[in-house]
Amino acid sequence: MEDILLKGEVGDIIFQNKENGYTVFTMEIQEEEITCVGVVPLIHSGESLSVRGSWINHPVYGKQLQVQFYEKFMPTSQNGMEKYLSSGLIKGLGPKTSRKIVERFGDAAFYVIEEKPDLLTEIKGITHEKAQRISEIFREQHELRKVMMFLQGFEVSPAYTMRIYKRYKGRTFDIVKTNPYRLADDIFGIGFKMADKMAANAGIAEDNPNRIKAAVKYVLNQAASNGDCFLPKDKLIAESVELLELHPLAVENAIRELQVESQIWQENLAGLDVVYLNFYYYAEMAVAKRFIELSMDCEETDPEILERQISQMEKETGVQLAPEQRQAVREAMSGGVLIITGGPGTGKTTTINTILRLLEKEEKEVVLAAPTGRAAKRMTDATGVEAKTIHRLLGTTFVSDDNRRQVFDKNEDDPIEADVLIIDETSMVDLHLMHALLRAIENGTSVIFVGDMDQLPSVGAGNVLKDMIRSERLRVVRLQHVFRQAQESAIIMNAHRINQGEEPVLNEGGTDFFFMRRAYGQEVLSTVQELVKSRLPKYTGHDGLADMQVLTPMRKGMLGVQSLNQVLQQTLNPPSPNKKEKEFRQTTFREGDKVMQIKNNYNIVWRCFSCQGKRTDEGLGVYNGDAGRILKIDEENEMVRVSFDDGKVVDYDFTQLEELELAYAITIHKSQGSEYPVVILPVYSGPPMLMTRNLLYTAVTRAKELVVLVGLRETVNSMIANNREVGRYTALAERIRNLYDFMNELEVQP
């Protein structure tokens, strides 16, 4: 897009969001009036403005300038001064009084207001008190103007400028000049690299201790976003040195200072020096402690009575449990902490339903939960008992000026009310969420964790389910028997073959598992298009938009999420005069599009409606991975309405669209906890770290009725052979083991 630079005077403020600075306004440029939109906070009619941006065509309002950067100047003409003063900037100063001030003092009007406010009393209706108030507000605005212009000099975008000013106000100058790295801690969205650029502009030395400490925390935070709870100290130093281009000794000194300041934790784990951000260390310790405490609440049950109850339940339901399922039921009824793990077709749902019926007969209060909305809905459908997301169960809110810090309503002071808590899809639960969950479970509550340990680990830091099992100190029942009805599904049988390192059986007659060989990337892309548009709807009767999901290992490249979504949007939901659109950054959102929430938003309002359109429920929170469809794009009110798969309806302000992305194709990681009637999986090429066995296994197990692999058989085989699990630096298993052994040693001592 062509970069446009214009200078003029602010005319009318049509719309302004005071929270985020998004503004629609007119500018008068050489007797021509243009409409501008963008994050342009705290502007007023009459101000002179220099704006840089690009032209866009609004479907209703026509040609507009999308502002990227701007610079403000005080009005210099008397007409501009008058408009500025009467713009509402100063409460109680209307058009008549503003005109009198400018007529009386002319070009010196602003100087008089700021420096000689007593002279304003010469104007009828302005008392001494009012003159002082006008001057005070004017000076505050002048201070604000200086801060805004100061930050723009550091190439900070208007959106971040607004956040910084709201946080620091008049302290902004001092903080940015002396330690801009504070912004990386205090302002959501400003990371080390942006702060480092500001520091360079401020002339802060490369070996400044604040810079080195910020870099160390940045490397640890990056590691956490990749799943690691800590880093080996040598690795942390090496990555920090590469980032800073400084001597390792400077980094070691910074690590020492951060430990003294209680921002990080160092210890030796099995001969390895490691470094944690404080939160992850204390979270690991707290999670291990709660597991041990809760696991000690086991009750002795009469085995003969329990066996009779299980047999009676089998007669009532007509379901014959396998030996390992019976074991899981027995263990569940004795309380404490239990892990039930198994692959597809091994009877996890049947086992849980049996446990639920037995608990119901004992009149126990049971609560079901899962990490995502889709997983909770699947759990509800499978059991007939309402399941909530863990976040909703805990009651989450976000606090602080920038909505960065998450707080859970449920904790040790206000715990979850339940005799038994059952958590499904536990492999998706990261350390942070598990820590919050365990804090909210009171002693005496039994907890049953259900999940497939061979699925991909959580998106967030930790590998909690595997660590729980690897600790060998918590009770685990492994369901391994694949039931006869499941054996009839090639999806399930091939999933187990893949998991065991064997090649899948492809394209058998009457199968639900197909492979289509395509030798070139463009052929794979064309075939995927053809499958969703015509071939599979004709073959299966399923709708390409509602019932089929394209999964891919990666985000970039011809067969990555970004490329596939553009192609599939054009294929399944092409432009139409009847469908409104909104372009946001590089994405066009269209009514009818499949979309996904890509970050947790704990404060956004959702509503549920009945078939008759009556509101039936409402609450707060939409979470990373929630998927739905765009119902409506409202240009006039700057709003996009999304209906999510779990029934929630959410209205997004245009400035919130960074939280959504198209979801015709999603990464396999994002598909965890979900099931789709039909899964289409391009298997062509990609980085070895992504093309792994458990990634393929996870993708295949997302399908209920049909899997279609498109690409190269060699790629399928290489993924199965690549059983290299991407290791995560976690110590939860060791902490559970050590704490359990220590507490048992105390018990046996005389």
| Binding-site residue set | 345-349
**447, 476, 482: which is closest to 328 by C-alpha?**
476
3-class DSSP assignment, residue 68: strand
Residue 407: count of CB within 10 angstroms of its CB = 14
Cα radius of gyration (the chain): 30
Give, as one character, the DSSP assignment of residue 692: -
Q: Per the annotation, where are the binding residues for ATP?
A: 345-349
**DSSP β-bridge partners for residue 527:** none
How far is 143 from 6, CA to CA, in rounded Å?
25
The two beta strands, 660-662 and 665-667, are unpaired
């009779």: which residue's tokens?
A: 308
Residue 578: count of CB within 10 angstroms of its CB = 7
Helical ranges in 590-731 per DSSP H: 693-700, 713-721
3-state SS of 193-240?
HHHHHHHHHCCCCCCCHHHHHHHHHHHHHHHHHCCCCEEEHHHHHHHH
How far is 600 from 621, CA to CA, in rounded Å?
8
DSSP letter for each residue of 410-462: -BTTB----SEEEE--GGG--HHHHHHHHHTPPTT-EEEEEE-TTS---SSS-
**DSSP β-bridge partners for residue 682:** 710
Residue 128: count of CB within 10 angstroms of its CB = 11
Distances (CA, A) of 67 to 13, 50, 156, 636, 706: 15, 10, 14, 19, 48
